Amino acid sequence: MGLIYSVVHSYTPSNVKVVENFDMQRFLGTWYEIARFDHAFERNLTHCTAEYKIRDQHSFTVTNRGKRSNGKWKQKSGKCVFQEKENEGKLKISFGPFYSGYNVLALDPDYQFALVCGPSRDFLWILSRTPTLSEENMNKLRNIADTQNFDSDQLILTNQS
């Protein structure tokens, strides 16, 4: 008798609603990180940005960049692809051999600010096309995060000045 071993990997937290009618062409370009949940791979970084560029017909390159406390830049490039449908804000991203979830939960109609989460509720980012975001728009995104069972009180502001 054989033993069957199965690993189910979810790229999207359960019961999370992602953006529909997502247009990756409009998402391309530079995004400034306004706020994030604290995690080891970005800890103590300031001036964080993510830049998306077309890689090929079905994938995109993302370059994340942030400034360390010693003034030196930390930069990492990876590959981003859709999880399923190309008009849905459900993507997966890889900076090495494995993929992780990248889910667009909210997006301004003009693609000027966004709320993004990772594969679990431990990862959340607020992004903007500019280094600052109005308090009104910040509160909108915090409310959406809370509605989707994220604890927006855990968000830390990213120094962009």
The model's pTM:
0.91
Residue 6 has what pLDDT? 35
**Structure confidence by residue, pLDDT tens digits, 106-148:** 999 999 999 999 999 999 999 999 999 999 999 999 999 999 9
Of residues 2, 60, 59, the one with CA closest to residue 31:
60
Residue 9 has what pLDDT? 52
Phi, psi of 38, rounded to the nearest 5 degrees? -70, 135
Q: Are 84 and 103 in contact (CB under 8 A)?
A: no
What average pLDDT score do residues 71-76 get? 95
Full set of structural domains in the chain with CATH? 24-157 (2.40.128.20)
pLDDT for 7 beyond 60: no
Average pLDDT of the chain to the nearest whole number = 91
* Diameter over CA atoms, the chain: 63
Instruction: List % helix, strand, coil for the chain (3-state, nearest 5).
Output: 15, 40, 45
β-strand partners of 75? 65
What average pLDDT score do residues 29-33 get? 98
Which amino acid, one-letter code, is at 94? S
Q: Are 61 and 52 in contact (CB under 8 A)?
A: yes
Confidence grade of residue 13 (pLDDT, cut at 50, 70, 90): confident
